[in-house]
Structure 1
Amino acid sequence: MKTATISQKDLETWAGFLLDHSLGGITPADRVMIKGERICWPLMEVLERRVIESGATPDVLLVPPNNDRGRVWSSAMGRTGTPKQIAAVPEWHKSRYESMTKYVEILGAEDPTQYMGLTPEQLGNLAGADRRFGDIRLSKSWVITLFPTEGMAKTEGMDLDDYADFIVRASTADPMPLKSAEEQLAPLFDAGQSVTIVTHHPIDDRELVLALDITPSRGVMSFGLRNFPDGEVFTSPDASKTAG
C-alpha cells in the first residue's frame, strides 16, 4: 500500500499546533492519549516524543484496521458478537480513559472497507457500547485531526499525493488568522434572526429554499481548537421554525 510522504518539518509543525494551540500546551501533570491506526504513525511518533519532551506521560493507543475510530469494539465484534459479549467491556478500558487529561485522535484508515457493511443494528450496538467512553473523552481537552492515507484518498476520488498535499497544507497553516476572521463573523450570528439557503435540484433544476430561524442562537467560533484544521462559526437554529 502506498503511503503519504510528509516532511519532518511539516510533521513537527502539525504536532506543535495540535499540542500547543488546540490543547493549550502540555505540562508534566498531563497524561495524553494519542490514538490512531498504525498507518498514521509518522504523526503519532512526533506527538509521542513531544509529549515526553514536555515532561508529560503519553498513552499511545494503536487502533486495529477493522475498528472505526478506535471504538471499544471492532467490526468483528459488531458482526458476530452477542449482546452479552458486547456489554462485557473490561473495567480497565474505562480506567484508561479516565486517567488521561488530554486526548489527540488521528483519523486516517488503512482500509476503510474493513469496518464497512455493518447493519444499522450492528452499528447501533457498537455505538452503544462506546457511548460512555465518548462522554469521558468529551469531558477532557481534546482535538481530532485527519492523516492522509491511500484508503481515505480513494473514498474522496483523489490521488494520494494530491490528497496528502491538500491535508498537509491545511494542517500546517497558522490557525490564528481564522480567529481574526471569525471574530468578525460571530457577531452576525449573535445579532441575526434568520438564514436562508437557496440551491437547485441536481436533476430537474428546481429551486430549493431552506429557511432557518436563528433568533435564539449564538455564534460559536471554531479555529482549530477541537477539529484541526477547521475554520467555522457554528450555530443551532430553532428546529420548530425550520422550513424547506
Structure 2
Amino acid sequence: MSPKQLQAYASLLVNYCVELQPGERLFVSSTTLAAPLIAALQEAVLKAGGHLEYHLAVEGSAAAYRDYASPEQYAHVGTLYQKAMEEFEAYINIGAPFSLRDEQPAKELRDARRASHKPFHDRYFARTANRDAPGGLKRNTCVFPCPALAEEAGMSLEEYTDFVMQATKATSPDPKAAWLDVRKRQQAVVDRLNSCTEFRYVNPRTDITFTTNGRTWINSDGQTNMPSGEVYTSPEETSVNGTIHFDYPAINSGKVVRGVTLTVKDGYIESWTAEQGQDVLDETFQIEGTRRFGEAAVGTNYTIDRFSKNILFDEKIGGTVHMAIGQSYVQCGGKNQSAVHWDMIADMKNGGRIFADGKEIYRDGRFIAELWPTS
C-alpha cells in the first residue's frame, strides 16, 4: 500500500469505524505483516487524542503452539486481550495471515481454547451489542492486503490491494462521506424490514422462511466491518423452516466446503450435505448451538465484484444473501449461543426473490426501486 492509501485507510478505521474519542483506548490485533498500517494507525490515534495498544503475531508462532503446546498452554488467554475485552473502548482486528494453508491444531487443543475463551467471547458479544452505551465496545474487523490473502483470492498483491481499497471506499475523495451515504441508503431498507415479521428467501434451489418477532434488522454501514454493505438480523431460533442451498464455497479454518444444502424444521437443522467437505460439516454440527441459525442477511455492496474466499468481503457481495449457523447477535435480539458463527452465502442474481409479510421486496439480486433507487 502507498503512504497515501495507508493514511486514508487508517483515518477511516480510527475516525469513522470506531470513532475514537480523546482518552479512549484502542486495542489492535494482527500480525507483523500489518506493521505499516499499525504505524499509520498510531498517527491517526494520536491525532484523535487516544491511546493505541496492540498484539502482533510473528511468523512461526502459530506452528509452534500447534506442535508443542499442551492443552493448558494452547488455552491460555493473553493478559492484554483479557483487559481489552473487559475494559477498552475500541477494538480493531486486522486480518493479515502469513499463510492460509497451515495444518490445523489437534481437536483437543481447539476444544480447550474454545472453552477458555468462551467467557471473553461472551463478554465481547455483550459489549459490542451496546456499542454506544457506557461500557460498550466499538469494534471493527478489516484486512491488510498481504500475499496469502491475495493468493487465496486469485489476484496479484497489487490487484488485491486495489480490490480492498475499492471495497472499503478508501480511494474515495471523502471515504467517511461515502460510508455515510451507504448508511442513508440502507436505512430505507432496514426501516421496511423492521416493519415486517415474516420473511422468505427463494431461488431455484432454496425456499426458506423465518420470523423476526422481537428482533431487529441492523444497518451494517462499515462501523463494525470494513468493508461492509449488508443488512442483517437474528431470526427467531425456532422459526426457520425449509431448505437453503449455498452456491458459494464456505471457508472454515482454511478448509473449503462446497455445495452446502441444509434442511431445517422449526429452527433445527435436521440434515446437511456438501458436495465437498462433508467431514467439516459433520464435525461443526457436533458443536453446541450450531444446529440453529444466528443470522440472516442480505449483501448490498455492489463494488465487491468478485468472490475472494474471505467472508468479510464475500458476505457483502451485492446480489447475495447469507445465513450463519451458531452464535446470534445480541444487538438483534438473538438468543442462540455458540462458539461458532459461520456465514454461508447464496446467490440471488438469477431468479432470487425475497418476500416480507408476503410481499415481494427483492428480485434478481436487487431490492425493489422503492427501497433502492438506481439514481
TM bin (shorter chain) = 0.7 to 0.9
Contact kept, 8 Å, 1:175 with 1:229, in 2: the verdict is no
Q: Distance in 1 between matches of 2:67 and 2:116?
A: 14
Q: Distance in 2 between matches of 1:189 and 1:66?
A: 46
Aligned residues: 225
* Matching of residue 166 in structure 1 with residue 186 in structure 2: no
Distance 1:113 1:214, change over 3 A: same
Contact kept, 8 Å, 2:66 with 2:104, in 1: the verdict is no
Matches within 5 A, 1:95-244: 95=83, 98=86, 100-114=88-102, 116-135=103-122, 137-138=124-125, 139=127, 140-171=137-168, 172=170, 173=175, 174-200=178-204, 207-244=205-242
Q: Cα offset for 1:66?
A: 5.0
Contact kept, 8 Å, 1:186 with 1:220, in 2: the verdict is yes
5+ residue gaps in structure 1?
Answer: 1-5, 68-73, 201-206
Q: Distance in 1 between matches of 2:180 and 2:139?
A: 18
Q: For structure 1, which segment, 147-156 or 134-143, has the greater mean C-alpha deviation from structure 2 after superposition?
A: 134-143
Q: For structure 1, which segment, 53-62 or 13-22, has the greater mean C-alpha deviation from structure 2 after superposition?
A: 53-62
Higher relative contact order structure (alpha carbons within 8 Å, sequence separation ≥ 6): 1
RMSD: 2.6
Q: Distance in 1 between matches of 2:206 and 2:26?
A: 46
Q: TM-score, normalised by structure 2?
A: 0.54
Q: Cα offset for 1:77?
A: 3.0
Q: Which has the higher strand share?
A: 2
User: Where does residue 5 of structure 2 map in the other structure?
Assistant: 10
Q: Distance in 2 between matches of 1:158 and 1:92?
A: 35
User: Where does residue 49 of structure 1 map in the other structure?
Assistant: 43
Instruction: Name the amino acid aligned to 2:97.
Output: A
Residues 2-49 of structure 1 show CA distances to partners (whole Å, capped at 9, x for unaligned) of: xxxx2222221211111111112331x222222211111221110012
User: Where does residue 3 of structure 1 map in the other structure?
Assistant: none
5+ residue gaps in structure 2?
Answer: 128-136, 243-375
SS at match of 2:30: strand
Q: For structure 1, which segment, 17-26 or 77-86, has the greater mean C-alpha deviation from structure 2 after superposition?
A: 77-86
Q: Cα offset for 1:58?
A: 1.7
Q: Percent identity?
A: 20
Instruction: Name the amino acid aligned to 1:47.
Output: L
Q: TM-score, normalised by structure 1?
A: 0.79
Q: Distance in 1 between matches of 2:81 and 2:200?
A: 45
Q: Cα offset for 1:133?
A: 3.8
Contact kept, 8 Å, 2:34 with 2:96, in 1: the verdict is yes
Contact kept, 8 Å, 1:78 with 1:126, in 2: the verdict is no
Q: Distance in 1 between matches of 2:228 and 2:215?
A: 21
Q: Which has the higher helix share?
A: 1
Contact kept, 8 Å, 1:189 with 1:235, in 2: the verdict is no
Q: Cα offset for 1:89?
A: 4.6
Instruction: Name the amino acid aligned to 1:110.
Output: F
Distance 1:63 1:184, change over 3 A: same
Distance 1:52 1:75, change over 3 A: same
Instruction: Name the amino acid aligned to 1:81.
Output: A
